[in-house]
A and B are shown apart, each in its own frame.
With several copies, the nearest count.
Chain A
């Protein structure tokens, strides 16, 4: 290794703690965003954390029995049960005298927006004391790229072939959770790790149900270049396709990043194989919807507390 001992010995400027609770050797694809999401979240939560992971890419990424890539305990739970498994686990830990461990449900978009929404809604209604993290790669990736209700309008997946591309907008899970009036809802993005880290820390210090929705690009499923993962995350925010915001008690909305100039969605879409078939008209439709959602968000913030 050609280590430049000669250069003057500045400190590395790290914006996140050095501690790692996720280790190498895991089974994610090259350039996987979901993996970064885990890495950052655990940096914020630390070792006294327990995860409930339903079926999703992460149930593979972590590694097969008898291995695990993480330094925290995991309950690999049934697909539809992330939230309630966590709530059950929390209750159990409390009853055996552990009042400290932060219990986290860690699920993909399918496990959150679709098959897991009922358990999540139940937990939110009871305000059970867990953090729910949804890492959103916008399709069922672990089973090979099928549409979920998080899949955006226009996208190709294996169940929405280009001739029948997804023709419904992405389900607005954040608004749905906000409507549950839980103490904390936030969106985050692996391309903004400091913001993500801050939000998880904030969530950690709140009691009740906290929901964090993390944008996590998936090169394999989106047909993008692995090295574009961070770029895509930034574009998602700059185009306002995936705005960063927080909602407290379902009523106080705060947008964290407002791009000075919104980039056109096309810039975002055209980097991705899953959108390559889109016509100019379809892209215009998407732009419209993005604008509408952004305007709505601005209004929410403006009229807060709602």
Chain B
């Protein structure tokens, strides 16, 4: 059914349709509507789940881990400070191989307090062993939750669904809400490969000496390496049932593009407008929206970008003391595979808007230079 939904409600619908069994969450702007709608769904008995209204995000994630270990399908949502407060537990989820799904609304990190979007919160978690799905529309948010559960549970690896504060979380868009029946067909109940039960008493997560730790972590990475193919496959299966496709990346007019923009989140959609705009002007621009950052889609990124004459990576984030994180990731992936000049742009931190004009500057600068004139090019800073 075509509904007008805010991104936060798309998350809640995704969780509901996935028949999550345990939800534990804590409110934070701009995530609150996710929790509020889920509370209501539980009160209205549309959703048969235990909702633990915890006293912090830290406890939210801890509760999810316990529930997931029991074999229940588990969901939470948060943003920025809340995600950061979960940090230790994020490692716990991946190391413990617990396929929790978490919705994160991208919001800039304090201080100063910000409630506006940028990606530093979720990107600061790139090394925690979670899959990360960056969404560009509310439809994608809903669809991603359902697909993420499928992938996460198969691999026993947790997954994060990420959406921009306000530009998705609070923005109403038309979303096709699929039928429960069809979703059930796509996503059967969680069948964990191990679970905590007195019937088969294991101690989970005990002291692991240098004799064993390495191999267990090797297994985690090896399973992560299975994810790219599985995500693509799952996306195809989803397409067959629902007619919508989601893959690791979302290339737009890249085939013949001379300049390819690399984008993520909603920026990746506005970029399409820019691409069309510049194409009209006769410039062969394309856009590669990276949907999945973890596992990193090496093959896709390499094969698509190496055709370009220039690549411009747009980061709504920064690793202080280094540069934009997508920029770093893309360069690292291309190293040894391609020698296309890769330009790095940082823009939109703390919710500064990214508009057609932003892209205009980026494309012009990329056109103007043979190679990046600076390590970081800042777009939109009042200097």
Contacts and interface: CB of A to CB of B under 8 A. Distances in A.
Nearest to A52: B66
Interface stretch (A92-100, A174-182, A245-253): A92-100
Contacts of A144: 27, 29, 32, 36
B62 interface: yes
A47 interface: yes
Contact of B52 (A76, A91, A93): A91
B55 A122 contact: yes
A143 B63 contact: no
A303 interface: no
A185 interface: no
Interface residues of A, number: 66
A95 B66 contact: no
Interface string A37-60: 000000000011110100100011
A122 B54 contact: yes
A144 B29 CA distance: 8
A89 B203 contact: no
Interface stretch (B67-75, B154-162, B218-226, B243-251): B67-75
B53 A96 contact: no
B56 A118 contact: yes
Contact of A74 (B42, B62, B74, B204): B204
A64 B209 contact: yes
B201 A73 contact: yes
Given A95-B49, A115-B55, A76 B72 contact: no
Contacts of B239: none
Interface stretch (A156-164, A208-216, A224-232, A260-268): A156-164
Contact of B207 (A64, A77, A98, A121): A64
Contacts of A142: 29
B181 interface: no
A89 B196 contact: yes
A79 B205 CA distance: 12
Nearest to B71: A96
Interface stretch (A11-19, A80-88, A279-287, A294-302): A80-88
Chain B interface extent, by class: 35 or more
A147 interface: yes
B112 to A, nearest CB: 5
Contacts of A49: 198
A75 B204 contact: yes
Given A73-B201, A96-B21, A96-B70, A158 B206 contact: no
A21 to B, nearest CB: 9
B356 interface: no
Nearest to A91: B50
B50 A119 contact: no
A118 B204 contact: no
A92 B26 CA distance: 18
Given A72-B198, A92-B21, A65 B112 contact: yes
Interface in A130-181: 140, 142-144, 146-147, 149, 158-161, 163-164
Interface stretch (B81-89, B330-338, B357-365): B81-89
Which 6 pairs, one residue from A and one from B, show the smallest C-beta to C-beta distance?
A88-B66, A92-B70, A88-B63, A92-B67, A122-B55, A89-B66
30 contacts: A59-B207, A64-B209, A67-B203, A68-B201, A68-B203, A73-B204, A76-B111, A78-B92, A81-B58, A81-B59, A84-B66, A85-B63, A87-B63, A88-B24, A88-B64, A88-B65, A89-B66, A89-B69, A92-B67, A92-B69, A92-B71, A95-B21, A95-B72, A115-B26, A119-B59, A126-B53, A158-B36, A158-B39, A159-B39, A159-B53
Interface of A: 47-50, 52, 55, 59-60, 62-68, 70-81, 84-96, 98, 101, 113-115, 117-119, 121-122, 125-126, 128, 140, 142-144, 146-147, 149, 158-161, 163-164
Given A93-B70, A113-B55, A158-B32, 9 more contacts: A62-B206, A81-B58, A81-B89, A84-B63, A85-B66, A91-B50, A92-B21, A92-B66, A118-B56
